[in-house]
Amino acid sequence: DAGITQSPRHKVTETGTPVTLRCHQTENHRYMYWYRQDPGHGLRLIHYSYGVKDTDKGEVSDGYSVSRSKTEDFLLTLESATSSQTSVYFCAISRQGRNEKLFFGSGTQLSVL
């Protein structure tokens, strides 16, 4: 158990509504990541954080924003959800970044109708 909790585990929402997914870690790791996993596309990076209030975009960041006000929490917000954002979202953490082990949460299944 890597000490990562994602909430909610499942969510169904309607197009155009805002959605926030939460990732909470108990490891005090510096780096936190949000990925989405889709058939045929594998795991794709949405945003990541390298410290409190320090975030950067990944390869599929359009339509998503993030915030990290505390070391342990990393929030992913869909300002206005679209059907193309239906996916499984994974949070991941790493102690030192890209040359260190990456640990994943259990995921959030999001369906946008």
Tell me: does residue 101 bind other proteins (CB under 8 A): yes
Per CB under 8 A, the list member of 22, 45, 65, 67 interacting with other proteins is 45
Nearest partner of 35 among 75, 90, 103, judged by Cα: 90
Q: By CB under 8 A, tell whether 102 contacts other proteins.
A: yes
Please name the residue that has the structure tokens 């949070």. Answer: 91
Q: Does the protein bind other proteins through residue 39 (CB under 8 A)?
A: no
Rounded Cα–Cα distance for residues 103 and 29 (Å): 10
Distance CA 78, CA 108 (A): 13
CB of 65 vs other proteins, minimal distance in Å: 18
- Decide if residue 52 touches other proteins (CB under 8 A): no
> Three-state DSSP class for 85?
helix
Q: For residue 14, report the phi and psi dihedrals to the nearest 5 degrees.
A: -105, 150
Is 28 a binder of other proteins (CB under 8 A)? no
In degrees rounded to 5, what are phi and psi of residue 85? -95, 5
- Binding test (CB under 8 A) with other proteins, winner from 50, 65, 73, 75: 50
Residue ranges binding other proteins (CB under 8 A): 2, 31, 33, 42-43, 45, 48, 50, 56, 58-59, 90, 97-107, 109
